[in-house]
Chains A and B, each alone.
Chain A
């Protein structure tokens, strides 16, 4: 999409000394973390620990909240995302996002998926249809909706809506997919489908997922980051975090003793 952002190296995100304040309150304290290509990084921690704030900083959505102040840098393929030369619009086409609550537009299923391609200037109907089919197939939703693409997306079930939101995010062909507790509003079966999907998607995308469920983190992630009161307490291979964590507090949290 642009020659300023290189996609060749393995390191996708390299966060260095990231601090974030809401007014006077510091929500993120000196975060240092690196994320590799085609890996699923899970972010866990108790409510209010800064996980959502952190993931929203990666595509700069957090700046929509007034009174946010950020220091430090986030290198995305070695390019600092806070630099003036990178626009947030450009960054967000590369770094897609799926939200906690399924948020399809009150339009048809087809219109939802092609929203992104359309705003980025694609007008060719055949190409749009191709993109829609591809994205829906990758989001494992195609078979369920192929006969009702013109129907309103709000008629889908919660789990289908969330997969539609994933398809919509994939349609702009991103490099990274940020998922902010994508299954917290879904039932176990729908959750299972999303989890299978994440494992499938990591072949093509780098995924960062915030989750409240320890089991989910253990099932689908390669690396796990444990946040506590705005600090990154521990970041390691998921297996290590769940079997042999370095910190006492991490162990307490993953075994369910608090949080």
Chain B
């Protein structure tokens, strides 16, 4: 009956209903409310877009200042030259090589340890309280300030293992720092592999390791690589742990083995920025080095995005 009435005079009935309701709830006329709602709608839209614009403007100013400072200083000679106390002679070849050496420790250590840990936690560990406890604490480790990892590295690698300020000490410390991130992102990638693929493998008589190696890892690999590259770009830009380890700036020798002393891009930026009070041109050198570091980060992130888009399997 009701339905029929509405279908004959829908507007009138609807209007009547609203009026009745408003009377009951003692609300002002609906026109005022509508106006207010529409105003709020517009207000929030503007607020949200404002916050985006704010972020973009800050980023824009940052880029502008850095690029403006680096112009005239960033050239081939700067990238291929050796460090010097004279600003106009200084180049960051040794610093770039130092960062590359650092990565040559961080990449294998974090990939092997991180992915293995993730495989164990997701595929082998019995689901229970202990596994939960470990998972939660790995996530907690991911948010520990980097300076704490620096102190750990200083105590364990530099002092206890007597590695000093070598590439090995720095690399292992950095590995500890990004390991939780690699573990968590690998876990997510492994978890995203549909269980019916594992079942298909088990149903053909495959054991666990065969299933992990031939089914789970190939499908999870793009996700694992994306996470790994993103965490490496964190490692390459991290300063605090290296400062704590006493990594020097202005190292005139280019490192040639993992036991050599070294300096890295963020450290060089940090000390040049500190010393601008002594030599004003150091600010330009720091800016030029920042541009190089940003370029490296930009390339790494692009590679991560390409891998994710190209190799991700869609089900």
Residues in chain A within 8 A of chain B (CB atoms):
59, 61, 64, 66, 88-93, 96-97, 99, 101, 103-107, 115-116, 119-120, 154, 165, 168-169, 172
Contact = CB atoms under 8 A, between A and B. Distances in A.
A8 B214 CA distance: 34
A103 B196 contact: yes
B217 to A, nearest CB: 12
B54 interface: no
Interface of B: 126-127, 194, 196-197, 199-207, 210, 214-215, 218-219, 313-315
A119 B210 contact: yes
B204 A172 contact: yes
B311 to A, nearest CB: 10
A163 to B, nearest CB: 14
Contacts of A104: 200
18 contacts: A59-B203, A61-B202, A66-B127, A88-B205, A89-B205, A89-B206, A89-B207, A90-B205, A91-B205, A96-B204, A99-B199, A106-B313, A106-B315, A107-B218, A116-B206, A119-B214, A154-B314, A154-B315
Contacts of B214: 115, 119
B146 to A, nearest CB: 37
A178 to B, nearest CB: 8
Contacts of A169: 203-204
B206 A165 contact: no
A97 B203 contact: yes
Contacts of A165: 200
Contact of A93 (B194, B205, B315): B205
A104 B196 CA distance: 9
A116 B127 contact: no
A61 B200 contact: no
A172 B200 contact: no
B204 A92 contact: yes
A103 B199 contact: yes
A66 B125 CA distance: 12
Given A66-B126, A106-B313, A154-B315, A101 B205 contact: no
B204 A116 contact: yes
A234 to B, nearest CB: 28
A153 to B, nearest CB: 11
A106 B127 CA distance: 27
A54 to B, nearest CB: 16
A92 B313 CA distance: 28
Contacts of A89: 205-207
Contacts of B194: 103
A119 B205 CA distance: 9
Nearest to A107: B218
Contacts of A154: 313-315
A101 B204 contact: no
Contacts of B126: 66
Contacts of B313: 106, 154
B199 A105 contact: no
A76 B210 CA distance: 25
A-B pairs, 5 with minimum CB distance = A93-B205, A97-B203, A92-B205, A116-B204, A103-B196
A102 B314 CA distance: 15
B95 to A, nearest CB: 42
A64 B204 contact: no
B197 A92 contact: no
A63 to B, nearest CB: 10
A224 to B, nearest CB: 24
A123 to B, nearest CB: 14
A111 B80 CA distance: 48
A100 B302 CA distance: 39
A91 to B, nearest CB: 8
B258 to A, nearest CB: 39
B177 to A, nearest CB: 34
A227 B202 CA distance: 26
Q: Which of B126, B200, B219 has the most CB of A within 10 A?
A: B200
